[in-house]
Amino acid sequence: MDLENRLLNIEFRHLRALVAIAEDLNFTRAAERLRTTQPSLSRTIASLEQILGTVLVRRDRRSVTLTPAGTRLLAYAQLSLRALQEGADAATGTPLVLRICFAGPLAEITGPAVRTFENMHPGIQVDIRRYDDPMARLSEGQCHLAFLLGAPNNPALETLVLTEEPRMVALPAGHRLTGRSAIGLKELSRETLVMNVLAGTTSVTLWDEADMPTKIVRVRNIDEWMEAIALGRGIGITPASTARFYTHPQIDFRTLSDAPRVPVVLAWRKGDPHPNIPDFTEAVRLSLM
């Protein structure tokens, strides 16, 4: 039987089992939460692995972990279960919640947009959350729309460009360039670059190949990024909204004179059936007028 036909045998109990195990990393606790027995849960996971022809969960006497295949499937399982719950709510007339996520610096855009939407549609509940990685949350189905810094290279998403922001240089206090009001990329080529690998908007490809920085400090969120720069471990490059939203006594922001601007984007998943996504995109357009 080919994979396409085997997929017809996947049931929501398989997905619920995988999600429960991923959250608890313990078969006994996951079985209790699902109101089943541990042997039954083990058989459900074994059935899913047999359908897909790959190992999803590894366990021994001391630990339970997802394999790389299990981790990749997990996001889709979570997305499918959320979609099923929303479909059930829609069918039974339960009011749907519109979930919005955003990165911290974009609060000045998200606030007016949400207020405009709520004024236009007072009966719709909006849940707005700040994340370091809103793109990942959108892909996992934890939100319906996301305000992003930088255009996502993802064909599964629809996007609306809202504005563009200039880039700025974040320098540790006392840096040799803090006396300058504007700085060029080439002047930074010998600097150590502090780079947010999880949700940043800058990589070495911003420079010409001959001028690319060779020393990089990798961090995973904005707080680590700020602290690394403040400690003098390198410089950072970021959209102007970061400089407006975050401050640090040991960091000076300066204009980057010759770098392309960063688009600010509203994104949502193609084909998402939530009925209020078009209404929200229209509210965003009106809030920017």
Predicted pLDDT of residue 141: 83
Predicted pLDDT of residue 12: 86
pLDDT, one tens digit for every residue, the chain (289 residues): 565 666 778 888 998 999 899 999 999 999 998 989 998 999 999 999 998 989 999 988 888 999 999 998 988 888 788 778 877 777 777 777 899 999 878 888 898 999 999 999 888 889 999 988 898 889 888 899 999 999 898 898 999 999 999 999 999 999 999 999 999 999 999 999 999 998 889 999 999 998 999 999 999 999 999 999 999 999 999 999 999 999 999 999 999 999 999 999 999 999 888 889 999 999 999 888 7
The answer to whether residues 265 and 241 touch, using CB atoms and an 8 Å cutoff, is no
Q: What is the CA radius of gyration of the chain?
A: 23
Predicted pLDDT of residue 101: 94
d(CA 76, CA 78): 5
Predicted pLDDT of residue 277: 93
Residues 6+ apart with CB under 8 A from 248: 226, 229, 230
pLDDT in tens, 138-164: 988 889 999 999 989 889 899 999 999
> Distance from first CA to last CA of the chain, Å, rounded?
56
Q: Provide the whole-model pTM.
A: 0.74
Predicted pLDDT of residue 168: 96
The answer to whether residues 262 and 256 touch, using CB atoms and an 8 Å cutoff, is no
